[in-house]
Structure 1
Amino acid sequence: MNLFPQSFQSLERALSATALKQKVHAANIANVDTPNYKSKQVNFEAVLNEAAANQIMNSYKTNDKHIEFGGSTSSAKPRISTNHTTAFTQNGNNVDMDHEMAELAKNQLQYNALTERISGKFSTLSTVINGGR
């Protein structure tokens, strides 16, 4: 018996991806003055879109009119890629602080939304366990 619905697993993977993004953006910011450092980014959305295109995602059908697709997203993991195409400074570094700070703020909002959603799910579970009290 699975106590937690699959949405918990999806939220957990999304939280892991945002934590990885946080680490990558923090590393980019920390290396803003490092000669020849190339910025990195996490591409989780592209991996999810690829998984959806290849129909390897699980689905739960609540209505007979819903479209079926199946498989597993366990192979859908965030990828870290390095940007070798640009150089903003003379020392070969391509970290753009404005971009990194904006991405960091966006990632923080996503993380906060995910934690709020998980908190709501646990609150609902707690209400059910306590009989609605």
Structure 2
Amino acid sequence: MPISFDSALGIHTKALDVRARRTELLATNIANSDTPDYKARDIDFKAVLSRANDHLSSGLSRSNARHLPLSNDAESLNLLYRVPNHASLDGNTVDGQLEKAAFADNALRYQASLTFLDQKFKGLIGALKGE
């Protein structure tokens, strides 16, 4: 019986992809904290993962490479604009402290996702070895 990595690894690979994309967005926000009229962007992680989980649990898959994708890849994330706590005179909506805190939190959660995947792979290797 062949091993399906999608079913074996579950939602953790998608979580890692979304965390990586969110890291890029948060870094861009921090880098543009002094850019006039820059609007901070973010991802609703729970909504994206919920959609991905629905696709996994529904059992949908592409039977042919020419079929349309399920549209839950990292490029189709619904990017949201962050609502600022305090209005800026130059129209910039980046709150540096909030962005840095979100970046640190996301980095920690990214590391947790890597740890979960590491444990999954160790379990698969153990199963293959018969341990």
Query: Hey, what does 2:88 align to over in structure 1?
Result: 89
CA RMSD of aligned residues (A): 2.6
- Residues 1:125 and 2:119 are matched in the alignment: no
Relative distance call for 1:2 and 1:126 in structure 2 (3 A) is closer
SS of residue paired to 2:111: helix
Tell me, which stretches of 5 or more residues in structure 1 are unaligned? 60-69
Deviations 1:74-132 (A, max 9, x none): 4445321223x546322111100111111111111111111001111111122222232
Greater fraction helix: 2
* TM-score using structure 1 length: 0.73
**Structure 1 Cα separation of the partners of residues 8 and 91 of structure 2:** 43
Larger Rg: 1
2: CA distance between counterparts of 1:98 and 1:20?
20
Could you tell me which residue of structure 1 aligns to residue 19 of structure 2?
18
Contact map agreement 1:39 1:94 (CA 8 A) in 2: yes
- Aligned residue pairs: how many? 118
In percent, how many aligned pairs have the same letter?
Answer: 31
Tell me, yes or no, if structure 1 residue 46 matches structure 2 residue 47: yes
Q: Is the 8 A contact 1:88 1:95 kept in 2?
A: no
| CA shift for structure 1 position 72 | 4.3
